[in-house]
Amino acid sequence: MLFKRWIILIVAPMAMFASAGCGDGNEADPRQVVISLFGAMEKNDKAALAHMLDLIELMKTTEQDYALSGDTARVWTNPQEILDDLTEDGRTKQRWFSYQRIVNNAQVFGETASVEVTFVDKANSKGYRTKFGVHMIDGRWKIYSFKTTQGES
């Protein structure tokens, strides 16, 4: 009986500490937050997306449509519209998931980073390169931009 208590008193706090330290990996690796983004999109997990996106900054993007499918940028009036666009039947989710997605290396510049993502359209033998902008907020990496870089590969 004493042995069981000892195990509970020692092992339980260690397990909690270990799981708290591991988190979801977003704190230390901007590339991982982009990988997690696609996982959350696949699961239609709006809560997870809200946690890994800087929705206020994304709403400021008015120059181009990050869905890779339009000539005219869509303007977001509230964060829910972005979450809807990245889940279920949202235009961006449908477009991005019609391609093979390759998350390449991250370049870290202090509190900001860029993560290159390549979308491969196998049917047309085209690739579209983008760089997701990621920055540190309250000790976590958050995506603030899906800015498309020039050209097709």
> Could you give the CA distance from residue 30 to residue 107 in angstroms, rounded to a whole number?
9
Which residue ranges make up each domain of the chain? Answer: 28-152
> Could you give the CA distance from residue 9 to residue 3 in angstroms, rounded to a whole number?
10
| Helix runs in the chain, H state only | 2-22, 30-42, 46-52, 55-59, 79-85, 91-96
The model's pLDDT over 2-22, given as tens digits with 9 standing for 90+, comes to 444 434 444 444 433 333 334
The model's pLDDT over 127-150, given as tens digits with 9 standing for 90+, comes to 989 899 999 999 999 999 987 554
Query: Is residue 120 a contact partner of residue 100, using CB atoms and an 8 Å limit?
Result: yes
Domain 28-152: give its CATH code: 3.10.450.50
Q: Percentage of the chain with pLDDT > 70?
A: 69
pTM of the model: 0.75
* Residues contacting 30, CB < 8 A, separation 6+: 106, 108, 113, 115, 134, 141
> Could you give the CA distance from residue 57 to residue 86 in angstroms, rounded to a whole number?
16
Instruction: Quickly state the pLDDT bin for 49 (edges 50, 70, 90).
Output: very high
Query: Is residue 49 a contact partner of residue 37, using CB atoms and an 8 Å limit?
Result: yes
| Mean pLDDT of the region 75-95 | 91
